[in-house]
Amino acid sequence: MAGFDDQHSRIPENVFLGLLWSLTAISFLFVVFRVYVQFTSFRRLFIDDFLVISAWIIILTAAIIWHVKGKVLYELYAISAGTKPLTPDFLPRYNVFMRYNAPFQILFYTGLWCIKFSFMAFFYRLSSKVKKFRIWWFVVLFCTAAVYIASIGDIEYKCSLGGLEYIITQCPQLHHIHYENRSFWANAAGDILTDLMILSIPFIVLWNTRISLRKKLVLLGMFSMTVVIMISAIIRVAVGMKYDRQINIDWLCFWSFVEVDIAIIVSCVPSLRQLFITTQSESSAGKASYPNTYEPMLKKSNDPYTQDKSHSVGDIESPSVDEVPMSPLSIVHVRSDYEVTSTAAGVSEDGRKS
């Protein structure tokens, strides 16, 4: 993935490292906030939480590797620009740097797909109660997993692990450049396509769920923040990239970090709403600590019309007490209508005195 001719930096090293660690720190704060909300609301973590935490650990590992080994790349840029001489010890260090290239791409795809699977776990609770939604969920899951396997499989491993001679003599050849660029574009297209498929799940489910239009728009707007992830994926492989030229490693790696960190942040945004719901629930519970024993009885409505309105076809039922949801964030609330009746003491419901 790198010859020595025409190599130049698109992102200065100090800018790269500054933004890299800033984004890593910000995403860490969002992950901590998500964990805090989950323990505050549910006293435990769920599958989607562990996937997000795994994604952050993976991207932290990649950031440490880049911080330690990325200096060699900028040394190559200086040698290519003629501002630094080529020394005998550079080639072995460059070979070591290139050996991290394929593992770095694997870390990037794995971290990004951890976030995708986290969203899938999150949306499973929405779709698991309606058969047609559940079928679509499994279709999306299969496609997402298939794209991940393909993205890992089409990495140009020989231009990372094939040895210094192969990297210098073969990888700058036009057919290698074309293969790598096609792979990057295809993987980015699969990345964006799977994001759109995952995003379709809440759109389909929520639009067929009986909640107010305002709440639907708020929730859909929240999930639509994944568009920012898609934009970063497009920038990573499209801006300034030419089919007959090798992509800049610093540009590719920088936007890989940006995409994963943004994905982590976006995956933690729904925790803001969950914290608001939890706070409201605790406030309501505090007001109801001393209930009035003379309050009227709550009886479920026997009106068929009311029952039909309460449970329309698109409603998503909440899981039973024994069922452990894959995602605890309750973004859809099912309401039942009740009618309030009051009976005087000593009077039965049919109006006769007992």
For the whole model, what pTM was predicted?
A: 0.75
Instruction: Tell me which H or E stretch contains 340.
Output: strand 338-341
pLDDT tens, the chain, 354 aa long: 444 556 677 889 999 999 999 999 999 999 999 999 888 888 888 899 999 999 999 999 999 999 999 999 999 998 888 888 888 889 999 999 999 999 999 999 999 999 999 999 988 876 667 788 889 999 999 999 999 999 999 999 999 998 889 998 898 899 989 999 999 999 999 999 999 999 888 888 777 777 777 777 777 777 777 888 888 888 888 886 788 888 888 999 999 999 999 999 998 887 655 544 544 444 444 444 434 433 333 333 344 434 443 343 334 443 333 333 334 444 444 344 444 444 444 444 444 444
Which phi and psi angles does 342 have, rounded to 5°?
-135, 130
CA distances from 186 to 21, 58, 133, 161, 347 (A): 29, 23, 28, 22, 75
What is the secondary structure of 153-189 as a DSSP string?
HTS-THHHHS-HHHHHHTTTSHHHHHHHHHHHHHHHH
Residue 163 amino acid letter: G
Do residues 9 and 80 lie in contact, with contact meaning Cβ atoms separated by under 8 Å? no
Q: In the structure encoding, which two tokens stand for residue 266, read together? A: 């976006």
How deeply is 301 buried, as exposed, middle or buried, from its count of CB atoms within 10 A (0-12, 13-18, 19+)? middle
Show Cβ contacts of residue 160 under 8 Å, excluding neighbours closer than 6 positions.
1, 98, 99, 100, 101, 102, 103, 167
Domains of the chain as residue ranges with CATH: 13-275 (1.20.1070), 291-341 (no CATH)
**135-140-146-147 Cα dihedral, nearest 10 degrees:** 170
What is the secondary structure of 96-134 as a DSSP string?
HHHHTHHHHHHHHHHHHHHHHHHHHHHHHHHHTTSHHHH
CA distances from 313 to 108, 131, 305, 309 (A): 41, 12, 14, 9
**pLDDT, position 248:** 86
Distance in angstroms (rounded) separating the CA atoms of residues 325 and 328: 6
**pLDDT, position 272:** 57
How deeply is 220 buried, as exposed, middle or buried, from its count of CB atoms within 10 A (0-12, 13-18, 19+)? middle
**pLDDT, position 291:** 42
**pLDDT, position 4:** 52
For residue 150, which of 186, 104, 194, 177 has the smallest C-alpha distance?
186
If one counts every other C-beta atom within 10 angstroms of the C-beta of residue 165, the result is 9
Helix %, strand %, coil % of the chain (to 5): 65, 5, 30
**pLDDT, position 128:** 65
